[in-house]
Structure 1
Amino acid sequence: MTALTVRTLGEDDWQIYRDVRLSALEESPEAFAASSSAEKQLDESAWRRRMARARRILATDENGDKVGVVSLRSDVRDDEESPYGELFGLWVTPDARGTGVAVALLEAVLEQARKESLGAVIYWVGTDNARGVAFASSRGFLPTEHRRPMNPNSSDTESEEEAAFVYPLGADETSIPSDVLDARH
């Protein structure tokens, strides 16, 4: 593995996030519910709102090249004993895949989740994404029976599904409200 720097982006880093996000959408369009053409239309205020809704964690290599990104959104409800987080948007550049970038990003997400005293982290993975399923399982995420359409906005009635994996941080799957696991945010 090459030397990596992993850091959480701030709201003023919206352009960095935008550029990496657009690269991800262009390189791996099948992995995301969004499209690069739609997201290219977003203005600065929309990107800043996105930055405020979730932590965006960026990995760069020793040359300063952006090699991966992931997001963590917390969902804290007043009636919950144990709030949870959702890991999403994990992407690693093709050249950096298999080098430990995804593991470093995941570890940063889990560290952030612990700092926020989250009880669990949910990670939705495409059921046909063998590499993603193996990665989640090998890193301690527990599979659940919860499924949802990968792209709920698609007119394709045979849309691919994604499955919820849960990483317990003091909570288990039963402490996460079922409406969270059954609905798309």
Structure 2
Amino acid sequence: MNHVIRAIRTDEWPAVKRLRLEALRDPLAPLAFLETYEDALAKPDFYWQERTSTAAEGAFQRQQFIAERPDGAWDGSVTVLVEEAGSEDFLGHVVESEQGHLVGVFVRPEQRGTGVAAALFEAAVDWCRKRGLDRVRLFVHEDNARAEAFYRKAGFVATGVTGPVPGGSGHREREMVLRWPSDPA
């Protein structure tokens, strides 16, 4: 892998938008994202500018990492959202401790299996550790076996917590967490 893994910069909102739109056109998008291509495409530029600025390098509550090729093209992304203790998550559960929540995981199909996703996850998890978060979690669609297998390989384990996929599809998502080495099993 010859990519640079780094946080996005505020002025890169057009590239953030392009990569997100590409991710939403992926055949697996309905299993991985809660947004459609059409909805994202309709959003005005100021939406993308704000989305980028709140997840750019130096942001404290969220951080988006990208995998950048030597030619400047982006081949993947992951975003970390910080969930504060005492806040309510999207399932309506109270968050017990300050934690990272990985979302928006995407790697271009031709880069899957090359180490790009692992490098993105390493950067995101490292940011969470440096930020002092208690744990890192994510949710995976019950029918997204490929993603779940990758998450397990990356050290995430299922917690048994599940919830409905927003939108009323009848499908469920499973919570997976990465516990720090000092955590009890």
Normalising TM by the smaller chain, what interval? 0.7 to 0.9
TM-score by length of 1: 0.82
Q: Deviations over 1:65-85 (max 9, x none)?
A: 211011100012479884101
Alignment: residue pair count: 168
Distance 2:99 2:64 in 1: 17
Unaligned runs of 5+ in 2: 56-61, 88-94
SS of corresponding position for 2:79: strand
1-structure distance, mates of 2:182, 2:173: 22
1:19 is aligned with what amino acid?
R
* Structure-2 change in CA distance of 1:148 and 1:171 (3 Å): farther
* Distance (Å, rounded) in 1 between the aligned partners of 2:135 and 2:64: 18
Structure 1 residue corresponding to 2:116, chosen from 94, 97, 101: 101
Q: Percent identity?
A: 30
Give the Cα separation in 2 of the matches to 1:130 and 1:77: 30
Q: For 1:84 and 1:104, how far apart are their aligned partners in 2?
A: 20
Task: Give the Cα separation in 1 of the matches to 2:76 and 2:174.
Answer: 22
Q: In structure 2, what is the equivalent of residue 68 of structure 1? A: 76
SS class of match (2:43): coil
User: CA offsets per residue over residues 108-143 of structure 1, 9 Å max, x none?
Assistant: 100110121111111111122111111111111121
Residues 33-72 of structure 1 correspond to what in structure 2 (within 5 A)? 33-51=34-52, 52=54, 54-72=62-80
The code of the aligned residue for 1:143 comes to A
Q: Helix, strand or coil: the match of 1:169?
A: coil
Question: Normalised by the size of structure 2, how large is the TM-score?
Answer: 0.82
The correspondence of residues 32-181 of structure 1 with structure 2, limited to 5 A, is: 32-51=33-52, 52=54, 54-77=62-85, 82-150=97-165, 152-154=166-168, 156=169, 159-169=170-180
Instruction: Name the CA distance, whole Å, in 2 between partners of 1:81 and 1:96.
Output: 36
2 CA distance for matches of 1:136 and 1:84? 17
Partner AA of 1:130 in structure 2: A
Counterpart of 2:155 in 1: which secondary structure? coil
What is the CA–CA distance in structure 2 between the aligned matches of 1:167 and 1:78, rounded to whole Å?
20
Native 8 Å contact 2:86 2:97 kept in 1: no
CA shift, 1:148, in A, is 1.5
